[in-house]
Amino acid sequence: MRWAACTALLGALLWSQPAAADLVTPVFIVDDGESAGCGILNFGSRAVTVDIQVRRTNGTAASETGPTLLSPGQYLTVSYDGTNNSTFYCHFVGRVSAKSVRAAGQVISDIATGGKTKVLIPAQ
């Protein structure tokens, strides 16, 4: 009886979905006239709460949204202007899952003329 219960529990653990967790991008470089952007799209069927952070490589937040409710279909972004080859990464804090959101960092150039995405860096 115990063997069957242990086997059932082990099977449930092995086949369960991965837990939702924070998402992070690799580090990227932003120069004068460019911005570091961090954006997330909720394509799931439920709202999620997330704090979007543009972080410096020393670990401090350059800009962030604070905990924000992101409805299904909603996209939210935060950005920070770079200077002199600044290095940043994006941290999406919350119980978010790659099964229901897409998150990425971006280098945005030509800020003075409205901005263009130069590079997109997926979060994992």
Q: What is the per-residue pLDDT across 55-67, written as a single tens digit (0 to 9) for each?
A: 999 999 999 999 9
pTM: 0.80
SS (H, E, C) 57-69: CCCCEEEECCCEE
Task: Grade residue 13 by pLDDT with cuts at 50, 70 and 90.
Answer: very low
pLDDT at residue 109 is higher than 80:
yes
124/122 Cα distance (integer angstroms): 7
List of domains in the chain: 19-122 (2.60.120.820)
Cα–Cα–Cα angle for 74, 69, 80, rounded to 5 degrees: 75
Q: How far is CA 115 from CA 42, 44, 95, 107, in A?
A: 23, 28, 30, 10
Q: Which amino acid is at 58?
A: N
